[in-house]
Amino acid sequence: MNNDIESVLYSKEQIEERMDELSGEITKKYENEMPLIVSVMNGAMIFTSDMLRRLNFKLNLDIIKASSYQGAHSTGEVKIIQDLRSDVKGRRIILMEDIIDTGRTLKYLKDLLMKRGAKSVEICAMLDKPETRTVDLKGDYIGFNAPNEFIVGYGLDYDGLYRNLPYIGILKKQIYA
């Protein structure tokens, strides 16, 4: 599996250090509140899990499964595959995501949660790929900026593979081309 990786972008140690910093910022803001953390599955599963252990305030957790990808390409259409079970009316929401790429999925989810009556919706993403953005969207808490490459590891996948890598790497082009 490691033979499929062109290069490591962020090591396990770099990820751990950055998550400590992000969780400190978020804890400071929400220490006297009880937000709803919404993990965007499946990609954000590992990131959300590791972040939750670092957040030092009362919170609720829910998951939503949405997709606009088929294989390595965005379809441009967001589909909710599994919806939230929580009522978001009047709640502060933190969307946890693995990567902001085109931004379509997160913009769709943010707008949807606001329409459902959320008090606020912030975005916390491990990676941001600003070069590929097709909608007006900014993350509130970003781990790292990422180049316009196909990235896997630490929750990010290609065709369901590589999520379990402890680092974030660039997938060799011949794997997905």
Determine contact, residues 37/53, Cβ cutoff 8 Å.
no
What residues act catalytically?
101
DSSP 36-83: EEEEEETTTHHHHHHHHTT--S--EEEEEEEEEEETTEEEEEEEEEE-
- CA–CA distance, 175 with 51 (Å, rounded to integer): 30
126 Cα distance to chain centroid: 6
E strand or H helix at 19: helix 12-30
91: three-class secondary structure by DSSP: coil
